[in-house]
Amino acid sequence: MQAVFARRDLTNVERLKVFDRVVKYYKEEPSAERARLLQDLTNVQAAAVAGISSRTMAKARKPVVSAHDAAQRAPRNRIGNGGFSTVEVCDVAQEACMDPRFCDMRSWVAYAGDSEQRHWEAVGIVDVETMWCALGVDLGDPNWTSLSTFRRCLPGAWWY
pLDDT band at 133 (very low <50, low <70, confident <90, very high): very high
- Work out the percent of the chain whose per-residue pLDDT is above 90: 9
Report the distance separating Cα 104 and Cα 93, nearest Å.
Answer: 15
How many helices (H) and strands (E) the chain has is answered by 9, 2
Kindly report the average pLDDT of the chain as a whole number.
83
Concatenated DSSP letters of 101-152: TTEEEEEEEEEETTEEEEEEEEEESS-HHHHHHHHHHHHT-TTSS-HHHHHH
Q: Helix or strand or coil: residue 34?
A: helix
pLDDT at 160 over 50: no
Question: According to the model, what pLDDT value does residue 66 have?
Answer: 67
Q: In terms of Cα–Cα distance, which of 97, 84, 96 is closest to 144?
A: 84
Question: According to the model, what pLDDT value does residue 134 have?
Answer: 93
Q: In terms of Cα–Cα distance, which of 32, 28, 29 is closest to 60?
A: 32
Q: What is the pLDDT of residues 38-88, one digit of tens each?
A: 888 899 998 998 999 999 988 888 887 666 666 566 656 677 777 888 888
- Evaluate if pTM is beyond 0.75: no
pLDDT at 123 over 90: no
* Mean pLDDT comparison of 21-25, 70-74, 111-115, highest-scoring range: 21-25
Paired strand residues for 115: 112
Domain ranges within the chain, ordered by starting residue: 2-61, 77-153
